[in-house]
């Protein structure tokens, strides 16, 4: 069994991180498919707004929050879902609200509407929520998460803690205090602070926020517990962070910084997928036969030059990958596994393409 | 129209594209070409994961007229903004209490708006002929550029609202700001570019400059494909040739798609190996392409 097969056979969560444009989405889909081939019930989620997974599976526009069965392979299954931020947030409100009135009040709040839309911080948190939800779903035993490009991948990991910090913030308690029964004294000390914030963002935003926080009252415990579960799941033993790279210096640099910050949050990626590598062709060893004309010599030279140029590129790419992996501090539990994936002959926009990619993984 | 006129058709040029298409390389190339043409240029990178090594490039100008560099950090934008509005002391207090973070969460997108506000201010002070903005990847570029609109809807009054309105005006003003989309000649980034282009134009009224197709195989084959196939003597020649021909075929398909779906002029740049001379090759190719587009024969 190859290193990838071991991961796919034993892990419950695989989080794919990396810069945009490295083929992270198709690698995530191929991992879910490979796991399905091993008899597991795997689901892949994308939070990428560019909807590339939908393209890759050839089901543009059909993917949603609710996982769809893409392929059944013997006893194994591959499912796919695409994060819908507002409906995930709506579900969460429905789940933690004490009454349907409270849920409706929050859902109709102006501030809630603007944060539950496409704004990036909310999206990261909802991706984490979706990961947890599918992890708890008895239909699946492996969840593969395709994250947004590197800058956001970190937001995603940190989003649960950020929400807890926000909910536990003293200001949050103070703002909601008056509705808890006549704590007017606190209200007086808060007024100047509110005024300053109001001067900056506009007073209507502040009143919308206060209304939202008041409506939210009592739900913060549920949210904080949920955030705690996400945070533990991301650091669990059967959760793997996979780094997907492609061999160009610019995104590799960004990904290196991402890996450093993963370590800083006590997360150690243990597998690297080096995608889109130029194949390493053999050195040209042409022996021109005596019958070849002069015109043919020019063509022969071009053919050999083509081999050499591609070889040079392929070797340069492998150097980049090696120095990237060397630069990663080895995790305490073992070495980093590197999986090389050759450049595919066609753009991957259907399930067959994902299957070919899955073939080249093991 | 000459090269300088083409480059300064707007004061700000935001370069955006899917990750991995070489967006930063293209931004760097445009900035260098402008500097070489005698313009004063500022290359603005939108930070967070700012890379130290790339900032050093401003220290070693390789040609006449160096490009100045600036990295803007969205995370610091709100504190900095509050300080410049005479709220320095209060800001420090608010920051230490974590209240600035709460405000940033309360009005999401505020950092993005303030980064754009800073760019608008730099453009307005007139000290630069051109600001080249090395923007975030395509998906994030959308949320960055949408920030003034979504905040404008949520915030009805106050300085943030004013800022949002001014930034929206800048984005929609063709003499103030244009967007240069970058792609590689492959279907996936091309399709994404098509979506992004229409979204940005429809929603925000942003003006698009000619787009750049980076990393194209522009070499001429010495003979017809079948003649080359016949001439292969070794397996490695054959395999390398087929690889090359397949990639060229994909490029043709992607370019056709682009021509049919996006009515914009195209600047086509070669796929250069990452060596010391690659910046020069790209600069020259860019200049030639722009001259061909604008009919500038100098």
Query: How is chain B classified by DSSP, letter by letter?
Result: --HHHHHTTSSEEEEEESTTS-HHHHHHHHHHHHHHTT--EEEEEE-SS--HHHHGGGGS--SSSPPEEEEE-GGGHHHHHHIIIIIHHHHHHHHHTTHHHHHHHHSTTHHHHHHHHHHHHHHHT---SEEEEEEEEHHHHHHHHHHHHHHHHH--SSHHHHHHHHHHHHHH-TTTEEEEEEE-SSHHHHHHHHHHHHHHHHHH-PPB--EEEEEE--PPPSS-HHHHHHH--SHHHHHHHHHHHHHHHHHHHHHHHHHHH--S-EEEEE---SSTTHHHHHHHHHHHHHHHHHT---
Residue recorded with tokens 């392409």: B289
Q: CA A355, CA A357: separation in Å to the nearest integer? A: 5
- pLDDT average, residue stretch A4-28: 88
* Residues on chain A touching B51 (C-beta within 8 angstroms): 253-254, 257
Q: CA B106, CA A89: separation in Å to the nearest integer? A: 16
- The single-letter DSSP state of residue A281 is P
Nearest CA in chain B to A312: B273
Nearest CA in chain B to A118: B143
- pLDDT average, residue stretch A321-327: 89
Q: Is B21 on the interface with A (CB under 8 A)?
A: yes
What pLDDT, on a 0 to 100 scale, did the predictor assign at position A1? 56
* Residues on chain B touching A296 (C-beta within 8 angstroms): 231
Within 238-277 of B, beta carbons closer than 8 Å to A belong to 239-241, 243-244, 246, 250, 273-274
In degrees rounded to 5, what are phi and psi of residue B50? -60, 135
- The single-letter DSSP state of residue A330 is P
**A248 CB burial (10 A radius; 0-12, 13-18, 19+):** buried
Contact between A118 and B145 (Cβ < 8 Å): no
* B208's tokens: 């698009």
- Cβ-proximal residues to B80 (8 Å cutoff; 6+ apart), any chain: B114
CB atoms A199 and B160 under 8 Å: no
Radius of gyration of chain A (CA): 25
**Considering only A56-60, A262-266, A339-343, B235-239, which range has the smallest mean pLDDT?**
A56-60
Residue A339: enclosing H or E segment and its boundaries? Answer: strand A337-342
pLDDT bracket for residue B51 (50, 70, 90): very low
Domain, as residue range, for A155: 3-279+288-359
CB atoms A50 and B139 under 8 Å: yes
Q: Is A296 on the interface with B (CB under 8 A)?
A: yes
CATH of the domain at B28: 3.40.50.300
* B79's tokens: 């504190």
Within 73-102 of A, beta carbons closer than 8 Å to B belong to none
Domain count within chain A: 1
What pLDDT, on a 0 to 100 scale, did the predictor assign at position B53? 37
Nearest Cα neighbor of A250 from A20, A48, A26, A24 is A20
**Considering only A112-121, A344-353, B2-11, B277-286, which range has the smallest mean pLDDT?**
A112-121
* B291's tokens: 């001259």
What is the overall mean pLDDT for chain B? 83
- pLDDT average, residue stretch B117-129: 90
What pLDDT, on a 0 to 100 scale, did the predictor assign at position A26? 86
Position B15 pLDDT exceeds 90: yes
Higher-confidence residue of B117 and A331: namely: B117
Nearest CA in chain B to A150: B49
Nearest Cα neighbor of B7 from B25, B36, B30, B38 is B30
The pLDDT tens digits for A151-161 are 555 667 777 77
Q: Does residue B249 lie in a domain region?
A: no
- pLDDT average, residue stretch A216-238: 85
State ipTM.
0.81
**A96 alpha-carbon distance from chain centroid:** 25
3 state SS of A337: strand
Q: CA B71, CA B275: separation in Å to the nearest integer? A: 25
The pLDDT tens digits for A114-156 are 666 645 567 777 888 899 999 999 999 999 998 876 555 566 7
Residue recorded with tokens 């100047």: A192
**Distances in whole angstroms, Cα of residue B262 to Cα of each of A222, A255, B205:** 48, 31, 16
Q: Does residue B250 lie in a domain region?
A: no
The strand order across the sheet containing A41-46 reads: A68-73, A76-82, A41-46, A142-146, A13-17, A239-245, A271-277, A337-342
C-alpha count within 13 angstroms, C-beta hemisphere, residue A59 = 18
* A1's tokens: 């069994």
**A308 alpha-carbon distance from chain centroid:** 37
Closest by Cβ to A201, choosing from B160, B231, B240:
B160
Contact between B6 and B290 (Cβ < 8 Å): yes
- pLDDT average, residue stretch B181-206: 86
Q: CA A263, CA A281: separation in Å to the nearest integer? A: 36
Q: Which residues pair with A68 in a beta bridge?
A: A80
Q: Does residue B230 lie in a domain region?
A: no
- Cβ-proximal residues to B238 (8 Å cutoff; 6+ apart), any chain: B229, B232
Contact between A156 and A124 (Cβ < 8 Å): yes
CATH of the domain at A320: 3.40.50.300
Contact between B147 and B78 (Cβ < 8 Å): no
Domain, as residue range, for B120: 3-221+265-294
- Cβ-proximal residues to A91 (8 Å cutoff; 6+ apart), any chain: none
Q: Which residues pair with B29 in a beta bridge?
A: none
**Considering only A6-10, B140-144, B239-243, B278-282, which range has the smallest mean pLDDT?**
B140-144
Rounded to 10 degrees, the C-alpha dihedral B100/B105/B108/B110 comes to 0
Q: CA A115, CA A123: separation in Å to the nearest integer? A: 9
Nearest Cα neighbor of A358 from A46, A26, A6 is A26
The pLDDT tens digits for B61-76 are 444 457 888 888 776 7
pLDDT bracket for residue A210 (50, 70, 90): confident
Contact between A107 and A90 (Cβ < 8 Å): yes
What pLDDT, on a 0 to 100 scale, did the predictor assign at position B291? 92
* Residues on chain B touching A151 (C-beta within 8 angstroms): 48-49, 136, 140
* Residues on chain B touching A281 (C-beta within 8 angstroms): 236, 239-240, 243
Closest by Cβ to A122, choosing from B21, B108, B234:
B108
CB atoms A299 and B109 under 8 Å: no
Q: CA A80, CA A64: separation in Å to the nearest integer? A: 9
- pLDDT average, residue stretch B181-198: 86
Rounded to 10 degrees, the C-alpha dihedral A181/A184/A186/A192 comes to 130
* B204's tokens: 């925000």
């Amino acid at each position: 069994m190859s290193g990838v097969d071991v991961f796919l056979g034993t892990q419950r969560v695989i989080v794919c991180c990396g810069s945009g444009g490295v083929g992270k989405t198709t690698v995530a889909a191929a991992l879910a498919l490979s796991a399905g081939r091993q008899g597991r019930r795997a689901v892949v989620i994308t939070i990428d707004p560019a909807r590339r997974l939908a393209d890759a599976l050839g089901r543009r526009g059909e993917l949603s929050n609710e996982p769809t069965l893409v392929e059944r392979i013997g006893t194994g299954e591959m499912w796919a879902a695409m994060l819908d931020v507002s409906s995930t947030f709506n579900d969460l409100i429905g789940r933690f609200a004490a009454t349907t009135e409270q849920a409706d009040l929050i859902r109709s709040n102006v501030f809630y509407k603007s944060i539950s839309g496409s704004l990036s911080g909310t999206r990261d948190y909802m991706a984490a929520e979706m990961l947890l939800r599918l992890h708890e779903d008895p239909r699946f035993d492996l969840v593969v998460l395709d994250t947004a490009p590197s800058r956001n991948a970190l937001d995603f990991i940190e989003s649960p803690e950020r929400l807890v910090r926000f909910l536990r913030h003293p200001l949050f308690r103070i703002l909601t205090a008056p509705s808890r029964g006549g704590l007017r004294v606190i209200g007086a000390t808060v007024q100047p602070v509110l005024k300053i914030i109001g001067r900056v963002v506009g007073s209507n935003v502040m009143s919308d926020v206060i209304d939202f926080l008041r409506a939210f009252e009592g739900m913060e415990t549920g949210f904080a517990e949920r955030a705690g579960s996400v945070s533990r799941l991301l650091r669990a033993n059967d959760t793997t962070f996979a780094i997907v790279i492609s061999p160009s210096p610019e995104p590799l640099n960004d990904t290196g910084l991402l890996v450093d910050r993963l370590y800083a949050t006590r997360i150690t990626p243990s597998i690297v997928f080096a995608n889109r590598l130029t194949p390493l062709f053999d050195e040209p060893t042409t022996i021109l036969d005596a019958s070849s004309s002069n015109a043919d010599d020019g063509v022969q030279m071009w053919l050999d030059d083509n081999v050499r140029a591609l070889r040079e590129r392929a070797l340069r790419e492998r150097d980049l990958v090696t120095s990237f992996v060397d630069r990663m501090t080895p995790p305490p539990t073992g070495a980093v596994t590197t999986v090389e994936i050759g450049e595919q002959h066609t753009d991957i926009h259907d399930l067959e393409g994902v299957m070919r990619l899955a073939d080249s993984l093991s | 129209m000459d090269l300088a006129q083409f480059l300064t058709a707007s004061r700000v040029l935001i370069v955006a594209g899917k990750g991995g298409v070489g967006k930063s390389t293209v931004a760097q190339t445009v900035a260098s070409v402008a500097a070489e043409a005698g313009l004063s240029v500022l290359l603005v990178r939108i930070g967070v994961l700012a890379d130290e090594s790339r900032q050093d490039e401003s220290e070693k100008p390789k040609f006449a007229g160096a490009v100045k560099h600036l990295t803007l950090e969205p995370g610091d934008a709100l504190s900095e903004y509050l300080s410049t509005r005479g709220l320095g002391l209060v800001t420090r207090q608010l920051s230490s209490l974590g209240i600035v973070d709460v405000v940033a969460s309360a009005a999401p997108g505020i950092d993005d708006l303030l980064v754009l506000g800073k760019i608008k201010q730099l453009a307005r002070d007139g000290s630069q002929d051109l600001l080249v903005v090395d923007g975030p990847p395509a998906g994030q570029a959308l949320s960055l550029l949408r920030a003034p609109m979504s905040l404008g809807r949520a915030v009805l009054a106050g300085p943030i609202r004013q800022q949002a309105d001014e930034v929206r005006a800048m984005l929609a003003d063709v003499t103030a700001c244009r967007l240069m989309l970058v792609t590689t000649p492959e279907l996936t980034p091309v399709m994404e570019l098509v979506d992004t282009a229409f979204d940005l134009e429809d929603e925000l009224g942003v003006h698009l400059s000619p787009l750049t197709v980076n990393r194209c195989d522009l070499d001429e084959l010495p003979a017809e494909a079948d003649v080359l196939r016949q001439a292969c003597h070794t397996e490695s020649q054959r395999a390398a040739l087929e690889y090359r021909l397949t990639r060229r075929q994909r490029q043709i398909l992607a370019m056709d798609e682009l021509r049919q779906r996006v009515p914009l002029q195209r600047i086509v740049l070669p796929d250069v190996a990452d060596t010391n001379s690659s910046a020069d090759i790209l600069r020259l190719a860019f200049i030639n392409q722009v001259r061909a587009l604008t009919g500038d024969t100098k």
